C-alpha cells in the first residue's frame, strides 16, 4: 500500500484525515471497494444477505484470514474516525473475503467476535505499514468523497436496505429528534462529509427504534403525547424550559350550581396573541372551585385549543369539542376568531372583524357589553390626552362612569350569571421558529373580590386578598398583607396581653416618609391615629421590621429601652437602622409618654429563635408566628416550629378565604334575625371563639345587606300592623 503525504492546500477535514494518513494508516483498495459495491448493486443483494454471506464466510475463514479482514476494517474505519456510525452503513460494502489482504500477524485483533468487525475497534492506533511514499492529489480525494457521496446521495442503495440493518446505531444528528416519541414521517439528516453538506431523507421508523427513543419528558406537551399514533408530521418544535407567569382573568358560574361553568377571557393574555395556541386548565370544574394551597395544583386538566397553528392538527378545536373534553362553556366561533388573527389576513378584514362586538378575537364567553365598556373607557381616557392628570387639568370621572354598572358577564346556558375567577397562567414560548406557544392555566384559587378581613382588636385589621395568598407559595417572598393576616389568624382564639402593642407590617409604610424634620406632623398624626400612646398600660411594643424589601424580622421593645431581636435568619446581623428609625418616630410622636423619655441609644439583644431552613424564604412566616406569640405572652420563649409551617399557614389562610366564599354565596336572608343576634352576642362575649371567628369573617361583608334586610322587614311589619289596626 502506498504511503500518503499531506497536501497542504486541502480543507480542514481533509487535513485531519490526511494527518492520520500521514502517520501511516493503511487504507483498503478503494477501487476494489467501489467495484464490489457496483457488482453487489447489480446483483441486487441486500445488506442482510451480504451480512449473512459475510458471517458464513467469516466462520469458514481461518484465523489469519479473519485477522486480515479485521485489519482491513480497522483501516477502513480510520478513514472517517469522526463518524463511525456512518460507517455502520458503509459497512454494507463488500467484505474482503474474496480478496483477503495480507496483514501483519502481530496485529491484535479479536477473532472470536467476527460480527464486531462492523464496529470500529480502535481507529486511533495506526497500523505501521511500509510502502512507497506517494502524494495524493485532490482528484483522488474527490474519488474518496465520491464514494461517500454515492453512498449518501443514492437513495436506491439505502432504501433497499431493511430497517433492522440500518438501525445498528442512530446517527448523531438524530439525537435531537429522539426526544419525541411519536413516529415521524421524515427527518432531514445533515451529514458532513468533507467540505460538503449532504442531505438525505430517510424514514424515521427505520431510524428510531423503541429502545432508542427515550420516554417523553415533561416539557414535551401533553398534546404531543396524545398524538402518538396519529398522523405524522414533519416539523418538530423544541420547547424551552423557561416559562413566565402571566395572569388572565377567567369567568365562573356565580350561582353554586353543581356543574360550574368555566370560561376564559383571553383579552388580557398579552399582545402576543398570535402565538397563543393552547390553554391548559387545571381546575376542579364541578361544584365550588376549591381553594388549594399553591403546591397542590390541579384537580382535572382540560385543554382548550385556540388558533390555527396548533401543534400538528393545524386547525382550532371546535367549541363543541372543547365543551365535551373539558366541560368548559365556550362561545361558538370564539376559537375561530383567534385563528383569524393568526392567519395571514389583510388588515382591513381584521379591522372589520374587530368592529363587530360579537367577534372579539381575544375573548371567550365575554359579553359584548364588557368589551364595549372597556373600549369606551379606554377611548375616554385616551381622549383626555397626555396632559390629563396635571394640576391644571385633573382627571375627572363623569357621571356615566359612576352610574355605569360593572361589566355584565354573559349568562350561562341555564341562565346563571358568571363571576370572575382569577387564574395564574404559566406561559411557555416555543423558541423554534416562534410558531407555537402554550399557555398553561395551572392554578385556580378563588374569586377576585374575596378578601379576608381579620380584626385583631384595636391595633389593626388585616386584609388579605388572593394576590397576598399567592405570596405564600413555596420559596416566595411574603408581602406585608400576608404577614399581617398570618399574625391576625394566629391571634384568633387567644387572649392578647393587655400591655403589648403590635406594630404590624403595614405600618412600615409610615416610616418611609416620616422624617425627623416633620416632627409637628408626626405628633399630630400620633394624636389622631395612635390612640395606644395614651394608654399607660402599654409597656411593650412588638414590631415587624422589613429590611430593604428583602427580609422580615421581629423586635420587642420595652420601657427599659431594651430591644430584643427575633431573627429567624442566622447571620443576617439584623440591620438596626430600621429599628432605630421606628424608635425615633415613636419617641417623637409619643413625646408625652414614657416612650418619649427613653434614651436615644437603646440596647440591642438577640434572642434565640427557631431558624428557617435554607433557601426556604420563610422569614415572613417565622416573624408572623413570633409576633403572635409575643403578643400573647411577651416573656415566653419562642417554641420550635414545624418545617412545613409555610404549607400549614397557606392552608389556614385558604380555609379562612373559603369560609368567606361560602358565606358570600349564602343568601343573607337565610339566617334569621334571631340567629344573627345570637351570633352577635357570641361575638361580643367571645364565649364561643369559633362562632366569633365566623361572625368576624362574615359580618364585614354581609353587614350592609343584613341592615337593609332588617330595615325592609321592619317596614313590612309596621305596614302590617297599620293594616291590622285599620281593619
Partner 1 sequence: MSNDASPNHMPPPADAPLLGHINIKLTDNNNELFFKVKPTTPFGKVMETFCKRQGKDLKSVRFLFEGQRIRKEDTCETLDVQDGDAIEVHQEQLGGT
Site for partner 1 in 147-176 (CB under 8 A): none
State the Cα–Cα distance between residues 296 and 272, nearest whole angstrom. Answer: 29
- Phi/psi region, residue 128 (left: phi>0; alpha: psi -120 to 50; beta: rest), is beta
Coil, helix or strand at residue 305: strand
Spatial CA neighbour of 437 closest among 217, 269, 687, 651: 269
Residue 485 is given by DSSP the state H
Could you tell me the sign of the dihedral formed by the alpha carbons of 142, 147, 152, 156, in that order? positive
Which of 401, 669, 673, 675 touches partner 1 by CB under 8 A?
Answer: 401
For 252, 256, 323, 356, the CA distances from 412, given in Å and listed in that order, are 9, 12, 13, 22
State the Cα–Cα distance between residues 719 and 699, nearest whole angstrom. Answer: 28
Which of 103, 363, 471, 649 touches partner 1 by CB under 8 A?
Answer: 471
Residue 506 in contact with partner 1, rule: CB under 8 A: yes
Residue 459 in contact with partner 1, rule: CB under 8 A: no
State the Cα–Cα distance between residues 478 and 646, nearest whole angstrom. Answer: 10
Residue 477 in contact with partner 1, rule: CB under 8 A: yes
For 87, 169, 179, 273, 330, the CA distances from 206, given in Å and listed in that order, are 17, 11, 16, 39, 43
Site for partner 1 in 593-652 (CB under 8 A): 617-620
Strand (E) or helix (H) holding 482 = helix 480-491
The end-to-end CA distance of the chain, in Å, is 133
Which of 9, 106, 258, 513 touches partner 1 by CB under 8 A?
Answer: 513
State the Cα–Cα distance between residues 634 and 559, nearest whole angstrom. Answer: 13
Q: Which residues contact 410 (CB under 8 A, 6 or more apart)?
A: 331, 365, 366, 367, 418
555: its cell numbers: 423586635
Which of 433, 475, 724, 725 touches partner 1 by CB under 8 A?
Answer: 475
Which of 5, 509, 613, 713 touches partner 1 by CB under 8 A?
Answer: 509
Which of 200, 467, 523, 576 touches partner 1 by CB under 8 A?
Answer: 467
What is the nearest approach in angstroms of partner 1 to the Cβ of residue 337? 26
Specify the residue, 139 or 513, whose C-beta has the smaller distance to partner 1: 513
Which of 30, 525, 591, 604 touches partner 1 by CB under 8 A?
Answer: 525
Residue 118 in contact with partner 1, rule: CB under 8 A: no
Which of 109, 371, 479, 588 touches partner 1 by CB under 8 A?
Answer: 479
Binding mask 533-562 for partner 1 (x = CB under 8 A): -------------xx-xxxx----------
Contact 692, 678 (CB under 8 A): no
State the Cα–Cα distance between residues 296 and 314, nearest whole angstrom. Answer: 33
What is the nearest approach in angstroms of partner 1 to the Cβ of residue 395? 5
Specify the residue, 477 or 591, whose C-beta has the smaller distance to partner 1: 477
Binding mask 410-449 for partner 1 (x = CB under 8 A): ----------------------------------------
What is the nearest approach in angstroms of partner 1 to the Cβ of residue 705? 14
Specify the residue, 187 or 482, whose C-beta has the smaller distance to partner 1: 482
Residue 405 in contact with partner 1, rule: CB under 8 A: no
Number of residues that bind partner 1 (CB under 8 A): 48
Find the part of the chain contacting partner 1 (CB under 8 A) among 42-50, 311-319, 324-332, 387-395.
387-395
Coil, helix or strand at residue 190: strand
- Write out the residues near partner 1 by the rule CB under 8 A: 381, 389-391, 393-397, 401-402, 463, 465, 467-468, 471, 475-481, 483, 505-510, 512-514, 525, 528-529, 546-547, 549-552, 569, 572, 617-620
Amino acid at each position: 500500500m502506498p504511503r500518503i503525504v499531506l497536501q497542504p492546500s486541502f480543507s480542514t477535514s481533509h487535513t485531519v484525515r490526511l494527518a492520520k494518513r500521514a502517520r501511516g494508516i493503511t487504507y483498503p483498495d478503494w477501487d476494489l471497494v467501489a467495484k464490489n459495491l457496483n457488482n453487489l448493486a447489480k446483483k441486487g443483494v441486500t445488506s442482510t444477505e451480504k451480512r449473512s454471506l459475510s458471517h458464513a464466510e467469516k466462520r469458514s475463514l481461518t484465523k489469519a484470514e479473519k485477522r486480515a479482514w479485521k485489519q482491513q476494517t480497522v483501516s477502513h474505519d480510520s478513514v472517517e474516525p469522526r463518524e463511525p456510525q456512518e460507517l455502520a452503513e458503509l459497512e454494507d460494502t463488500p467484505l474482503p473475503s474474496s480478496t483477503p489482504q495480507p496483514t501483519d500477524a502481530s496485529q491484535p485483533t479479536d477473532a472470536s467476535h467476527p460480527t464486531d468487525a462492523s464496529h470500529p475497534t480502535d481507529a486511533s492506533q495506526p497500523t505501521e505499514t511500509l510502502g512507497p511514499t506517494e502524494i495524493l492529489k485532490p482528484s483522488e480525494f474527490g474519488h474518496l468523497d465520491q464514494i461517500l457521496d454515492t453512498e449518501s446521495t443514492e437513495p436506491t442503495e439505502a432504501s433497499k436496505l431493511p430497517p433492522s440493518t440500518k438501525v445498528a446505531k442512530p446517527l448523531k444528528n438524530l439525537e435531537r429528534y429522539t426526544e419525541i416519541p411519536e413516529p415521524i414521517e421524515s427527518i432531514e439528516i445533515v451529514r458532513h462529509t468533507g467540505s460538503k453538506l449532504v442531505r438525505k431523507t430517510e424514514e424515521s421508523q427505520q431510524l428510531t427504534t423503541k429502545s432508542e427513543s427515550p420516554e417523553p419528558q415533561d416539557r414535551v406537551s401533553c398534546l404531543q403525547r396524545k398524538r402518538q399514533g396519529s398522523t405524522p408530521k414533519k416539523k418538530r418544535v423544541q420547547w424551552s424550559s423557561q416559562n413566565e407567569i402571566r395572569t388572565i382573568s377567567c369567568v365562573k358560574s356565580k350561582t353554586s350550581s353543581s356543574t360550574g361553568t368555566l370560561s376564559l377571557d383571553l383579552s388580557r393574555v398579552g399582545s402576543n396573541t398570535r402565538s397563543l395556541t393552547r390553554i391548559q386548565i387545571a381546575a376542579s370544574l364541578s361544584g365550588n372551585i376549591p381553594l388549594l394551597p399553591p403546591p397542590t395544583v390541579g384537580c382535572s386538566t382540560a385543554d382548550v385549543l385556540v388558533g390555527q397553528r396548533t401543534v400538528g392538527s393545524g386547525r382550532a378545536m371546535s367549541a363543541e369539542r372543547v365543551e365535551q373534553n373539558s366541560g368548559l362553556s365556550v362561545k361558538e366561533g370564539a376559537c375561530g376568531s383567534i385563528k383569524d388573527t393568526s392567519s395571514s389576513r389583510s388588515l382591513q378584514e381584521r379591522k372589520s372583524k374587530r368592529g363587530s362586538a360579537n367577534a372579539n378575537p381575544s375573548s371567550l364567553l365575554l359579553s359584548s357589553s364588557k368589551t364595549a365598556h372597556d373600549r369606551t373607557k379606554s377611548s375616554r381616557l385616551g381622549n383626555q390626552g397626555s396632559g390629563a392628570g396635571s394640576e391644571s387639568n385633573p382627571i375627572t370621572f363623569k357621571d356615566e362612569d359612576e352610574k355605569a354598572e360593572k361589566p355584565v358577564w354573559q349568562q350561562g346556558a341555564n341562565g346563571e350569571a358568571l363571576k370572575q375567577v382569577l387564574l395564574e397562567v404559566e406561559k411557555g414560548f416555543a423558541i423554534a421558529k416562534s410558531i407555537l406557544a402554550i399557555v398553561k392555566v395551572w392554578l385556580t384559587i378563588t374569586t377576585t373580590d374575596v378578601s379576608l378581613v381579620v380584626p385583631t382588636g384595636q391595633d389593626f385589621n388585616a386584609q388579605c386578598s388572593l394576590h397576598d395568598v399567592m405570596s405564600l407559595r413555596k420559596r416566595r417572598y411574603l408581602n406585608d398583607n400576608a404577614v399581617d393576616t398570618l399574625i391576625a389568624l394566629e391571634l384568633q382564639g387567644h387572649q392578647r396581653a393587655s400591655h403589648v402593642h403590635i406594630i404590624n407590617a403595614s405600618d412600615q409604610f409610615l416610616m418611609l416618609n416620616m422624617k425627623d424634620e416633620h416632627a409637628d406632623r408626626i405628633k399630630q398624626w400620633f394624636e389622631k391615629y395612635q390612640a395606644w400612646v395614651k394608654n399607660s398600660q402599654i409597656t411593650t411594643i412588638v414590631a415587624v421590621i422589613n429590611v430593604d424589601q428583602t427580609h422580615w424580622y421581629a423586635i420587642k421593645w420595652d420601657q427599659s429601652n431594651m430591644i430584643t431581636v427575633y431573627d429567624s435568619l442566622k447571620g443576617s446581623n439584623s440591620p438596626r437602622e430600621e429599628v432605630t428609625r421606628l424608635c425615633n418616630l415613636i419617641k417623637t410622636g409619643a413625646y408625652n409618654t414614657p416612650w418619649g423619655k427613653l434614651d436615644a441609644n437603646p440596647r440591642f439583644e438577640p434572642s434565640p429563635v427557631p431558624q428557617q431552613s435554607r433557601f426556604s424564604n420563610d422569614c415572613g412566616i417565622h416573624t408572623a408566628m413570633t409576633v403572635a406569640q409575643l403578643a400573647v405572652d411577651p416573656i415566653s420563649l419562642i417554641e420550635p416550629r414545624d418545617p412545613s409551617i409555610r404549607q400549614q399557614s397557606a392552608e389556614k389562610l385558604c380555609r379562612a378565604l373559603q369560609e368567606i366564599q361560602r358565606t358570600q354565596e349564602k343568601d343573607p336572608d337565610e339566617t334569621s334575625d334571631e340567629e344573627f343576634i345570637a351570633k352577635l352576642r357570641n361575638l361580643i362575649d367571645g364565649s364561643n371563639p369559633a362562632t366569633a371567628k365566623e361572625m368576624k369573617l362574615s359580618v364585614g361583608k354581609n353587614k350592609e345587606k343584613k341592615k337593609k334586610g332588617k330595615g325592609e322587614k321592619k317596614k313590612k311589619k309596621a305596614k302590617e300592623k297599620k293594616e291590622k289596626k285599620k281593619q
